[in-house]
Amino acid sequence: MTRYSAFNLLREGLRGHTGWGKAWRSPAPKSSYDAVIIGAGGHGLATAYYLAKNHGLTNVAVLEKGWLGGGNTGRNTTVIRSNYFYPESAALYDLSVRLYENLSRDLNYNVMFSQRGMVVTAHSDPEMEMAARQVNAMRLNGVDAELLDRDQVRKLAPLLNFRPDMRAPIHGGVLQPRAGTGRHDAVAWGYARAADALGVDIIQNCEVQDFIMEAGRCVGVHTSQGDIRAGVVGAAVAGHSSVIAKMARYDLPITSYALQAFVSEPLKPVLDTVVLCPPFGTYVSQSDKGGLVIGGGLDRIPSYGQRGNLPVQETVLAGLVEMMPALASVKLLRHWAGIVDVTPDSSPIIGPSGVDGLYLNCGWGTGGFKAIPAGGYLFAHVLATGSHHEISRPFDRSRFVTGHLIDEGAASGIAH
């Protein structure tokens, strides 16, 4: 692996970039591995990386039915944050933020984590009270948070609507300074390259079609490129968790929906932070290339279509214009959608599937991208040791039986 650095870039520039090696190999699958991960999205690739790096397990394959990073990892709105309410969530998502903070250097791939902050606005006295409750919770959980008043919000995001005819006047908000955005493709590519360099096989265009079961235990997978046996199998297939579950005959508390995302034409810098306005349900940030990246709520119709429809587009984009009226004449360039797996408490499922030898990292709903490093780190722990890291334990699927749900739904505003 040719190391990425300014020096090497300078040198390669003079050589027509002929010295750069492959970011990852395209190996043929072996007939068996110590661990097989299904899904080469951010979580699957990060899991493989941490298996190799933290647990010394390199005889690992990541199987991807399409092209790596082509699922939700390549379709999200790139927000990274840990502004959650419950201690369990704070531990999970802030682990992720801390890993993101050093990720570019760990992977030797610039993922462009820009810690430009995220503000969630509050539009009434009761909402300010909830904002205070939220800020206090975050700080008590060891996560950075500030309670902002109206003027402070205005300073951070001058484009926001402070006009007298604003439908939902801004009273203040919750700021997480360490939150921000990252380059989503780079996260997938960075983990892929680093895992590959440690010996992990990433097999693209390899669809898992069934599981190989022996005496009730999962010992491998049947794929479009042949059978592959595995000491342990982990499924990290956002958008297709239920499809995989059916193959192995366990059930899941998941409904899949289309989550739409939008980008505008590129503009010179106009917005330096991430903003979410709950009354409109819309949030926005500006990418380093200049486009405004916009998101909102789900199309509430179970869907694997990877597209949504006009009513939600109108709601989300109208919400943006209400939030920031100066954007009215800015043009929408493109919109797309992913498939999000939503659980009853909008918190992920990490841990055993109920079928021996098969583990799950799923149910991240609309919040998977920010959690890629933590999801990978924790899932690697489960796969390598067979037991939970203390941070992932509360997210075991057994919580749906015991009732110990971690319901961040209300805490985070819109579908997170």
Which parts of 363-392 interact with other proteins (CB under 8 A)?
Answer: none
Token pair for 238:
């956002």
Instruction: Please pick, from the candidates 100, 189, 369, 379, the single residue that binds other proteins as defined by CB under 8 A.
Output: 189
Least Å from the CB of residue 229 to other proteins: 26
CB of 192 to other proteins, least distance (A): 10
Residue 165 binds other proteins, judged by CB under 8 A: yes
Closest CB 23 distance from other proteins, rounded Å: 5
Min CB(57)–other proteins separation in Å: 24
Q: From the CA atom positions of the chain, what is the Rg in Å?
A: 21
Q: Which stretch binds other proteins (CB under 8 A): 37-45, 262-270, 370-378, 387-395?
A: 262-270
DSSP state at residue 269: S
Distance CA 212, CA 33 (A): 14
Residue of 334, 385, 386, 390 interacting with other proteins (CB under 8 A): 334
Dihedrals φ, ψ of 95, to 5°?
-55, -40
CA atoms within a 13 Å half-sphere pointing along the CA-CB vector of 319: 22
Residue 209 makes contact with other proteins by CB under 8 A: no
Nearer to other proteins by Cβ, of 168 and 229: the residue is 168
Give the C-alpha distances (Å, rounded to integers) separating 109 from 3, 143, 180, 223. 9, 26, 18, 31
User: What is the closest distance, in whole angstroms, from the C-beta atom of residue 52 to other proteins in the complex?
Assistant: 19
Minimum distance, C-beta of residue 384 to other proteins, in the bound complex (Å): 28
Q: Looking at 27, 151, 199, 326, which residue binds other proteins (CB under 8 A)? A: 326
Tell me phi and psi for residue 219, to 5 degrees: -120, 10
135-154: which residues touch other proteins (CB under 8 A)? 135-137, 139-142, 147
Considering only 59, 177, 344, 356, the residue that binds other proteins (CB under 8 A) is: 344
Give which of 346, 400, 402 is closest to 86, Cα–Cα.
346
Minimal distance, residue 387 CB to other proteins, in Å: 20
CB 267 within 8 A of CB 292: yes
Query: Please, what is the minimum distance in Å from the beta carbon of residue 214 to other proteins?
Result: 25
- As measured in angstroms, the least distance from the Cβ of 54 to other proteins is 21
Residues 278-317 that bind other proteins (CB under 8 A): 279-280, 286, 288-290, 300-305, 307, 309-311, 313-315, 317
Find the binding residues for other proteins in span 5-24 (CB under 8 A).
5-6, 8-10, 13-14, 16-18, 20-24
> Which member of 133, 154, 229, 388 binds other proteins (CB under 8 A)?
133
Round to whole Å and give the CA distance between 192 and 182.
16
The conformational region for residue 386 under phi > 0 = left, psi -120 to 50 = alpha, else beta, is: left
Q: Binding string to other proteins for residues 92 to 131, with x set by CB under 8 A, is what?
A: ------------xx--xxx-xxxx--------x-x--xxx
- Secondary structure of residue 368 in the 3-state scheme: coil
Residue 242 within binding range of other proteins, rule CB under 8 A: yes
Q: Which amino acid appears at position 356 of this protein?
A: D
Count the site residues for other proteins by CB under 8 A: 127
Q: Which residue has the tokens 């941490």?
A: 50
Q: Most distant CA pair in the chain: distance in Å?
A: 69
Q: How many angstroms separate the CA atoms of 324 and 386, rounded?
A: 49
215 binds other proteins, rule: CB under 8 A: no
Assigned token pair, 410: 């209300």
Among 151, 243, 385, 386, binds other proteins (CB under 8 A): 243
SS3 sequence of 302-315: ECCCCCCCHHHHHH
Length reported for the chain:
416
